[in-house]
Structure 1
Amino acid sequence: MKTRKIARKIISCLVLINFLSYGIPLYAQEPSDGDLSAEVNTLRIKVNKLEETVAGQAELIAQQKKVLEKIAEVVPEVKAMLAPPEPKTMIKKFVVSGARLFSAQELEKVLVKYQNKELSMSDLKKAADDITALYRKKGYLVSLAYLPPQEISNNTVEFNVVEGRVGEITVEKPKHSKPEVIRRRFLVEKGQILNSARIESSLKQINKQPDRTVRAVLSPGATPETSDILLKVENERSPHHFSAELNNRGTRYTSLNRWGLGYRNTNLLGNDDILSLRFIANSKTEVYSGSAVYDMPVSRYNTRAGVYAAYSKADIGGQFAIPGLSPTGHAELWGLYVSHPWLEKEFVDEDSGSSLSLTSNLTAGFDSLSVYNKIMGDETAHDELRILKAGINFEEKDNLGRTGLTGEAHFAIPEFLGSMEKHDESASRIDAGGEFQKYTGSISRVTRLPGSMWLVNSFKGQYTPFALVSGAQMTLGGADSVRGFQENEYLADYGWINTVELRMPPFLLPSILKVPFDKKHTRIIDAVQVVGFIDAGKGYVNKQVGEDNEKLLVGAGFGFRFDLYEHLRARIDFGFPLGKEKPSDDANSRVHFGMQYDW
C-alpha cells in the first residue's frame, strides 16, 4: 500500500507537469486504483507523442543547420555571423618586421584604419592580408604578411613579412635558339625579390623575337621562401621565311612592272640575330636592286646593332627614242646603325577598363651613299655622301587604335671618307654637295570606328635649308604618296605629304560568301577591305636654274585590300589627280597594285 501511494504521488506530479506543459486536465482528487492503469496509459501516449515531436524538431534543426553551413561556405558574412563572438583587444600600434620593399610611411597608410580600435583575431588577420595585397599590387606575388603567435602587450601587435625571392632559373632548350641567349636577356637574377612586373618586362623583350614565345613557370624552390623559375619555350617555328612580290611601282623610264624575291632568317646563328635579303627587278632585268641587312642584339637590354648594304642599277637606254643615247646609272649604299629601347610604359584605368601602352626607341647610324650617272658611257653626275643620323620613335596603343611618331636628323659631312666637297661640280644638282642638314618626321594614327571600319591618317615631312642632291631629296607621287600621280613625280628639298583613308568591309556582299579554296572558310567580308582616300603633298626646292620652285599635288580615289589564305596580301588603288597640278605624263588616272606571298 505504501508503494502504491508513492506511485500515485509521482503520477500526480507528472500529470501536473503535463498540465503545465500541454494543458492536461487535473483531477480534484488523487486517482483511484482503477484509474491508475488508465492514467499510466494516457501518460505513456503523451510521452510517446512528446518524444516524436522532439525527434522531429531535432531533425528539422539539423536540416536548418546544414542549410546555414552551406550558405556560410558561399557568403563569408553569414559565416562570421554564425561564429561565436571573438574577444577583442584595444590596438594602438603596429610593428611590421621583415618589410624591406616598403617604407614605414607606406605601410602606415595601409594600417591606419585599424589603429586605436578594439580588434579581434579575425580583424588582425585581415590587416595582415591588406599588407599582402600591397605587395601583390606592386607585383610581388610570392611575398606575404602574417600574424605570428604572440602575447599582445602595450596595445601593440607585430606582423611578420616574408619577401619571397628568386631561386634557381632554368631555360627549356629551344630548337632554333641558344638557351644562354634567352637566359642572358631575362633580367631577373637568383636571390632577387621576386617581382612579376620585372618578369613580364623581360619576357616582353624576349618575345619580340617573332618565331617563338617564352613564358615563365614558377615552382617552390629548394630553399625556404624561394620560387624557382622555368623559362618554357612555346610555339617555336622555323626561322626561315621567304617571299615573292609583284607590283607596278616603277616609272615610265624604267618600266612599271616589277617582281621581287625575299628571304629572312629570324635566328641566323641562334643569337636572335636577323638576316634579310631582297632582290627586285623589272621584267627584262634592265633595272634591278638587291639589299642585305644583318641585325643582332649587342646587350642583354635589347640594344641592337646592324649593318646593311644595297646595290641598284638602271639601264634605261631602251626607253629613249634617240638612237645611241644610253643613260645608265647605279647606286651603292652601305651603313651601320644601333637602336636601344628608351621607354616602355603601360597605363591601366581599372575603373573604366581603358589602357594605354607607350614604347620608344633611340636610334643612331651612319650612311655611305654613292650614285653614278652616265650617258653614252660618259659620267654626267657622281654623288658621294657620308651621313651621320640620329632619331627617336614612339608607338602608342590604346583601346581605340594606335599612333606612331618618328623623328630623325641627318648630318652630311663633306670631304669625309671620300665624300663630296661642300659644293661639288660633279653633284647631280648645281650648288649641291656633300654638306647639308635635313630633318624628317612622321606621325600616323589608326583609329577603330563602329561597324568594323578604320580611319587611317598619315603625315610626313622633311625640312632643310640646303639644296640637296637627288638621292637626299623627298619624293612626291606614287603608291605611298599622292596616288593620283606616278612614282617620283616631283623631287623636293623639303615639304610634306598627308594621306587620309577610310577602310571598311564590303558591306554589300552577303556574309555567306566565303573565300574560294580557303581551308578555314574565311568570309569575304573579313578578308577584303574597301578603301576610300584623299592625298595631298607639297614640295619645295631651294631654287636652282631650270627648276620649279614648288608643287602642290592633290589626289583622291578608292581601292581594295586583300588578306587571303594567311600568306597572300594584295592591294589595288585607283587614284585620280585633283587641283591645278597635272601629272607629267598627262594621265587622267593611275592604278597602283601590289601583291606579296609569304611562306
Structure 2
Amino acid sequence: MNLKDFRFLSTICRDEIRRYEARDGKLAFSCAAIAVTLALQSGAVQGQTAPAAKSPAQKINITSIRVEGNTLLPEGVLAGMVSGVQGPDRTLSELNLLATRIQNAYRDAGFGGVVAFVPEQDVTSGNVVVRVVEGKLAAVRVTGNSHFTTANVRAGLPNLREGATPVVRAIDRDIQLSNENPAKELKVTLTAGSKPGDVDAEVNVSERDPLQVLLGYNNTGNEQTGRHRLSVGAQHSNLFGRDHVATIQYQTSPEHPSQVQVFSVGYHVPLYDWAGSVDAFYAHSNVRNGTTSTPAGPLTFAGKGEVLGLRGNRNLDRIGEYDHRVTLGVDFKDYQNDCALGNFGPAACGSAGVSISVAPVMVAYTGQKQGPQLAWGINASLAANAGGSSADTFEAARPGARKHYVLTRLSGFAEVGLAGGFALAGRADAQYTPHALISGEKFGLGGAGSVRGYEERELSGDYGVGARFEVLGPMLGVGASEGFRARPLVFVDHGRVSNHKGLPCRGTAETSCSLSGVGLGARLNMGKHASASVEVGRALDNAISTSKGDYRAHVSINVVY
C-alpha cells in the first residue's frame, strides 16, 4: 500500500472513529459508547495493495464495477450506488468516493468495523473491483466485574457475538438497556484483532454491590398526620443472576406512626433479546387523615388505597444522540374512604365518603437527549379507564364524573449549561381531559415536586399545567472532603388548574385557580451514598391551607448504603 492511498483510507477511518467517539458519555440511559479504532481498519486491509499508480484526474472508461466481500447489505443497494459511476471519462477520485459511499452505507445500516476500498488493479479493461472487508468479532473480554459474573454481563449484550460483524446500533441498544440496572454500568470498545479482519471487544464494567439499603426523610406531611415522613427500604439489582431488580419500601410518620402506613414493592425484568423490559409494582396506603371541627360536629376521615400496575417497555433505535422508548401499561387503583360527620355518621359526608376503583390502560412515549451543554427530555401518555367501579359509583363520588374517562399527560425538562458552572433548568407538566374526574385522577398543584411554597397538592383540577424554572449556581465544595458538594439555586414556579361541571377549585366559586411561588435553596451530594435538598419558597397566592406571603421549607434526605 503506497503512502497516498494509505492516507486516503486513514481519512475514511478517522471519520468513522469520530462518528462513534462523539457518542461517548451522551447516552440517556447509560454512560457508555462504542469506539471504532483506526487500528481495526488498517489491520483489516493488511496485505492489500493500493490502486494502480495513476493520476487521480486521469480519465477512465468504466464498463462495470463489481463489489467483492459484501454479505451484509442487499445487492440492490450497492447496484444503485455503482451505476452512477459507470461510463466514460471517469477518474480514480470518483472510485475512491464510491468506496467512501459504500462504507457509509454500512455505517448507516449500523455495521461497525467495515472498510470499503479500491485495491490495486488494471483498470484499462474497464472492469473495476471495489473490495469490502467486513470485520468479524473474534474475542470478547470482560473486565472490572466482581459482583456480576462474566456470563451475566455477556447475557446483557446479546448482539455482541463472536463470528458476526458488529452491528453498532444494536450493541448500543444493548448497552442502554444493561445500564438501566442501578448497580452496574458498561462501556464497550471495539479494537483490531490479532488477524486481519478480526475485531476484538472489551467490555469494561463499573459496578457496586447489588444489595442496598434505602433510607429517606422528607417533610411532605400535614398537621393532621404529622409534618415529617420517614422511609426505609431495600433493593437488590441482580436477583437470580439475571439483572432482575426488586425494591421494597415502607413509609410512616414519626409523630403519628399509626396514622400513616405506606408499603410499596416494585420489580423490574430486562428482556435483552427483545430490547425491552417489564415493570410491575404494588403499593398499599393506610392513612388516617385526622379530625376537623365543623358546625355539625367533628369530620373524621380514614382512607386506604391500593395501586397495582404493569408496564411493558420497548427501547427504539437511537436517532443520533436521541434515546426513546414506548410503553404500554395497565393499572388498578382502589380508593377506600371512610367518613363520619358528628352524630350524623357516614351518610352526611356525601361524595367525600365514597370508595371507588379505576382500571386505566395507557400508552406512553418517552425520549431524551443528553449532551455536555444541553439535556432535554419529553414524555407523553394517553390513558383511558377500562374498568373499576360502576357508573353509579362514579356519579356518587362526583356528580357528572364519567366512568370511561380519557386523559392525556405531558411533561418535559431541559437544562442548559452556562459559563462559570451556572445553568438554567426548567420542567413543565400538563394534563388534559374533556371529562370530569374523581379526586385521585386530578392534576395537583403545590408541594416540593410542583409549585414550591405550598402544602402538597393544595389545589387540584380536571386539567392543568405546572412549570418550574431554576437558575443553578456552580457546584461548591463543602468542608474538607470533595465528596460533599452543594449547588445553590433560585426558582420561580407557576401552575394553573381548572375543573369541568362548575366544581370549585379553591373553596370558592372559582373553577380555575392559579398558584405561584418563588424561593431559593441548595442541593447537596454527600459522596456516593447520600443526597439532600433544602428549598424555601414564598407563596404568591392564597390556596387552601397557605396564605399569600407564607414561607414553606421543603426538605428531603436520601441515603443509599
Retained in 1: the 8 A contact 2:214–2:232? yes
Partner residue, 2:113: 141
Partner residue, 1:446: 415
Q: For 2:552, give the aligned amino acid.
A: R
Task: State the distance in 2 between where 1:342 and 1:233 align.
Answer: 24
CA displacement 1:498-534 (0-9 Å, x = unmatched): 111111138xxxx8xx52252x476xxxx22221111
- 1:289, distance to aligned residue in structure 2 (A): 0.8
Partner residue, 1:337: 311
The answer to whether residue 369 in structure 2 is matched with residue 396 in structure 1 is: yes
Partner residue, 1:207: 179
The answer to whether residue 328 in structure 2 is matched with residue 364 in structure 1 is: yes
The answer to whether residue 250 in structure 2 is matched with residue 279 in structure 1 is: yes
Task: State the distance in 1 between where 2:546 and 2:124 align.
Answer: 95
User: Which structure has the higher relative contact order (CA within 8 Å, separation 6+)?
Assistant: 2
Q: 1:592 aligns with which of 543, 554, 558?
A: 554
Q: Compared with structure 1, are the counterparts of its residues 112 and 473 closer, same or farther at alpha carbon in structure 2 (3 Å cutoff)?
A: same
The correspondence of residues 138-537 of structure 1 with structure 2, limited to 5 A, is 139-145=111-117, 147=119, 153-154=124-125, 156-167=127-138, 175-177=147-149, 179=151, 182-183=154-155, 185-189=157-161, 192-210=164-182, 211-215=184-188, 220=193, 227=198, 229=200, 232=203, 234-283=205-254, 284-285=256-257, 286-298=259-271, 300-317=273-290, 326-346=300-320, 357-375=321-339, 380-413=353-386, 416=387, 419-424=388-393, 427-432=396-401, 434-505=403-474, 514-518=477-481, 520=482, 527-537=485-495
Task: State the distance in 2 between where 1:474 and 1:229 align.
Answer: 52
Task: State the distance in 2 between where 1:364 and 1:235 align.
Answer: 31
Q: Compared with structure 1, are the counterparts of its residues 181 and 597 closer, same or farther at alpha carbon in structure 2 (3 Å cutoff)?
A: closer
- 1:217, distance to aligned residue in structure 2 (A): 5.2
Q: Compared with structure 1, are the counterparts of its residues 129 and 432 closer, same or farther at alpha carbon in structure 2 (3 Å cutoff)?
A: closer
CA displacement 1:545-565 (0-9 Å, x = unmatched): 675412111111111111222
Retained in 1: the 8 A contact 2:394–2:438? no
Q: Compared with structure 1, are the counterparts of its residues 177 and 315 closer, same or farther at alpha carbon in structure 2 (3 Å cutoff)?
A: farther
Retained in 1: the 8 A contact 2:444–2:461? yes
Retained in 1: the 8 A contact 2:169–2:317? no
Across the aligned residues of Structure 1 and Structure 2, the Cα RMSD in angstroms comes to: 3.9
Retained in 2: the 8 A contact 1:424–1:431? no
- 1:287, distance to aligned residue in structure 2 (A): 0.9
TM-score normalised over the length of structure 1: 0.71
Q: Compared with structure 1, are the counterparts of its residues 436 and 186 closer, same or farther at alpha carbon in structure 2 (3 Å cutoff)?
A: same
Greater displacement, 90-99 / 278-287: 90-99
Task: State the distance in 2 between where 1:233 and 1:454 align.
Answer: 31
Task: State the distance in 2 between where 1:233 and 1:560 align.
Answer: 34
- 3-state SS, counterpart of residue 434 of structure 2: coil
Retained in 2: the 8 A contact 1:92–1:115? yes
Partner residue, 1:48: none
Partner residue, 1:68: none
Q: For 2:159, give the aligned amino acid.
A: L
Identity of aligned residues (%): 20
Q: For 1:584, give the aligned amino acid.
A: S
Retained in 1: the 8 A contact 2:113–2:165? no
Retained in 2: the 8 A contact 1:558–1:573? yes
Task: State the distance in 2 between where 1:429 and 1:227 align.
Answer: 68
Retained in 2: the 8 A contact 1:438–1:464? yes
- 1:136, distance to aligned residue in structure 2 (A): 8.0
Higher normalized helix content (fraction of residues) = 1
TM-score normalised over the length of structure 2: 0.75
- 1:154, distance to aligned residue in structure 2 (A): 3.0
- 3-state SS, counterpart of residue 391 of structure 2: coil
Task: State the distance in 2 between where 1:137 and 1:258 align.
Answer: 53
Q: Compared with structure 1, are the counterparts of its residues 482 and 169 closer, same or farther at alpha carbon in structure 2 (3 Å cutoff)?
A: closer
Partner residue, 1:80: none
Partner residue, 1:576: 538
**Unaligned runs of at least 5 residues, structure 1:** 1-71, 78-84, 347-356
The count of residues paired between Structure 1 and Structure 2 equals: 486
Task: State the distance in 2 between where 1:398 and 1:536 align.
Answer: 28
Retained in 2: the 8 A contact 1:128–1:146? no
Task: State the distance in 1 between where 2:397 and 2:303 align.
Answer: 12
Higher normalized strand content (fraction of residues) = 2
Q: Compared with structure 1, are the counterparts of its residues 407 and 114 closer, same or farther at alpha carbon in structure 2 (3 Å cutoff)?
A: same
Task: State the distance in 1 between where 2:429 and 2:105 align.
Answer: 45
- 1:574, distance to aligned residue in structure 2 (A): 1.4
- 3-state SS, counterpart of residue 398 of structure 2: coil
- 3-state SS, counterpart of residue 375 of structure 2: strand
- 3-state SS, counterpart of residue 239 of structure 2: coil
Retained in 2: the 8 A contact 1:499–1:535? yes
Partner residue, 2:66: 96
Task: State the distance in 1 between where 2:546 and 2:499 align.
Answer: 21
Task: State the distance in 1 between where 2:394 and 2:82 align.
Answer: 74
- 1:76, distance to aligned residue in structure 2 (A): 8.9
Task: State the distance in 2 between where 1:115 and 1:141 align.
Answer: 33
Partner residue, 1:106: 81
- 3-state SS, counterpart of residue 439 of structure 1: strand
**Unaligned runs of at least 5 residues, structure 2:** 9-51, 348-352
Task: State the distance in 1 between where 2:173 and 2:359 align.
Answer: 38
